[in-house]
Chain A
Amino acid sequence: MFKFFVIPGHDRRLIPEGRLSGPMPWVIAIMIFLTVLAAAAGLAMTRAMGDVSDELSSRATVQIVEANSEIRSDQAAAVAERLRSIPLVEEVRVLPPEEIEALIEPWLGTQDLGEDIPLPALVDVKLARAATDAEYQSLRSDLQRIAPGARIEPSSGYIAPVISLVRSFQWIAFGLVALLALATASAVIISARSALNTHGETIAVVHLLGGTDEQISRLFQRRIALDALLGGLIGLVGGGAIIWLISGQLSALGSGLVQSVGLDWWSWLIIAVIPILGMFLAMITARWTVIGALKKIV
Chain B
Amino acid sequence: MDEIVRFENVGLRYGAGAETLADLNFTLYPGSFYFLTGASGAGKTSLLKLLYLSQRPSRGIIKLFGEDAVTMPRERLPGFRRRIGVVFQDFRLVPHLSAFDNIALPLRVAGVREKDLEVPVAEMLEWVGLGDRTSARPATLSGGEQQRVAIARAVIGRPEILVADEPTGNVDPDMAIRLLQLFEALNTLGTTIVVATHDIHLLSKIPGAQMMRLEKGMLADPTGSLRHPPLPNDQQQ
Contacts and interface: CB of A to CB of B under 8 A. Distances in A.
Given A209-B81, A210-B79, A201 B104 contact: no
A295 B81 CA distance: 16
Contact of A201 (B56, B82, B92, B105): B92
Nearest to A204: B92
Given A13-B101, A204-B92, A298 B81 contact: no
Given A8-B114, A10-B108, A295-B74, 9 more contacts: A8-B108, A10-B101, A11-B108, A14-B94, A205-B93, A209-B81, A210-B78, A211-B109, A298-B53
A209 B109 contact: yes
A210 B82 contact: yes
Contacts of B55: 298
Interface in B35-55: 52-55
A298 B76 CA distance: 11
Nearest to A201: B92
Nearest to A298: B56
A141 interface: no
B104 A209 contact: no
Contacts of A205: 92-94, 105
Interface of B: 52-56, 74-75, 77-82, 86, 92-94, 96-97, 101, 104-106, 108-110, 114, 153
Interface string A208-231: 111110010000000000000000
A206 B74 contact: no
Contacts of A23: none
A22 interface: no
B105 A208 contact: no
A209 B106 contact: yes
Nearest to B98: A13
A215 to B, nearest CB: 7
B85 to A, nearest CB: 9
26 contacts: A8-B108, A8-B114, A10-B114, A11-B108, A13-B96, A13-B97, A14-B94, A16-B96, A201-B92, A201-B94, A205-B92, A205-B93, A205-B94, A205-B105, A206-B105, A206-B109, A208-B52, A209-B106, A210-B80, A210-B81, A210-B106, A211-B78, A211-B109, A298-B53, A298-B54, A298-B74
A202 interface: yes
A211 B106 CA distance: 8
Interface of A: 8, 10-11, 13-14, 16, 201-202, 204-212, 215, 295, 298
A208 B86 contact: yes
A202 B94 contact: yes
Contacts of B74: 295, 298
A205 B97 CA distance: 12
Given A205-B105, A298-B77, A210 B96 contact: no
A255 B108 CA distance: 65
A212 B110 CA distance: 10
A271 B86 CA distance: 51
Contacts of A204: 92
Q: Which of A206, A208, A212 has the most C-beta atoms of chain B within 10 angstroms of its own C-beta? A: A208
A202 B102 CA distance: 11
B70 to A, nearest CB: 11
B236 to A, nearest CB: 40
Given A215-B109, A298-B55, A209 B96 contact: no
Contacts of A215: 109
Contacts of B108: 8, 10-11
A209 B97 contact: no
Contacts of B77: 298
Nearest to A210: B82
A8 B101 CA distance: 13
A209 B97 CA distance: 15
Contacts of A8: 108, 114
A202 B94 CA distance: 6
Contacts of B54: 208, 298
A210 B109 contact: yes
A207 B93 CA distance: 13
A13 B81 CA distance: 22
Nearest to A212: B78
A205 B80 CA distance: 15
A212 B80 CA distance: 11
Contacts of A206: 105, 109
Given A210-B82, A212-B78, A14 B97 contact: yes
A201 B102 CA distance: 13
A199 to B, nearest CB: 9
Nearest to B86: A208
A102 B55 CA distance: 86
A10 B78 contact: no
B149 to A, nearest CB: 12
Contacts of A16: 96
